[in-house]
Amino acid sequence: MKSDVNRTVKYGQKYVAATVSLKVASQLQTMKAGFGDLGGMADLYAKEVLIQGALNALTPSVPTIYYPYYLDFGRQIWALTRKGIGGNALIDQAHSLKTKYVGYGLMGATIDVVVALFNITGI
């Protein structure tokens, strides 16, 4: 087992400003392309607008303070779909995330509304 001093030194070496800037510079084109493509931030923004609209339309209303949590749930589902996860694997992941967020105090029925925006059924 490595000592705490050894781990601290390795961490410090890993995050030297010159090293980090070279790593980021080498990945910058790919990062920009992924951020700007149609499946990137524009798609995420569109999903977030749909989620907010769905939350606004629910009766009884969802307290605004909970919106970030439902949006975060939606972002996690979106990220899974962006990674190419689909079918039963996506349903299983969505079910696990739903269980997690219900444990945080969110309403399962409201989460189902968010999941439906991603055309996922059966969770």
* SS3 assignment for 1-67: CCCHHHHHHHHHHHCCHHHHHHHHHHHHHHHHHHHHCCCCHHHHHHHHHHHHHHHHHCCCCCCHHHH
pLDDT digits (tens, 9 = 90+) for 26-43: 888 887 877 777 778 889
| Residue at 30: amino acid letter | T
30 and 81 inside one domain: no
The model carries a pTM of: 0.76
24 and 61 inside one domain: no
50 and 94 inside one domain: yes
pLDDT digits (tens, 9 = 90+) for 47-59: 999 999 999 999 8
14 and 50 inside one domain: no
Q: Please check whether residue 123 lies inside any domain of the structure.
A: no
Please tell me the predicted confidence (pLDDT) of residue 64: 92
pLDDT digits (tens, 9 = 90+) for 60-113: 899 999 999 999 999 999 999 999 999 999 999 999 999 999 999 999 999 999
20 and 46 inside one domain: no
Whose CA is closest to 52, among 31, 30, 74? 74
Distance from the first to the final alpha carbon of the chain: 42
84 and 99 inside one domain: yes
Q: Which domain holds residue 17?
A: 4-36
Q: Please check whether residue 122 lies inside any domain of the structure.
A: no
24 and 66 inside one domain: no
Instruction: Give the chain's domain count.
Output: 2
25 and 71 inside one domain: no
Q: Please check whether residue 51 lies inside any domain of the structure.
A: yes
Would you call the peptide bond into 60 cis, given omega within 30 degrees of 0 as the criterion?
yes
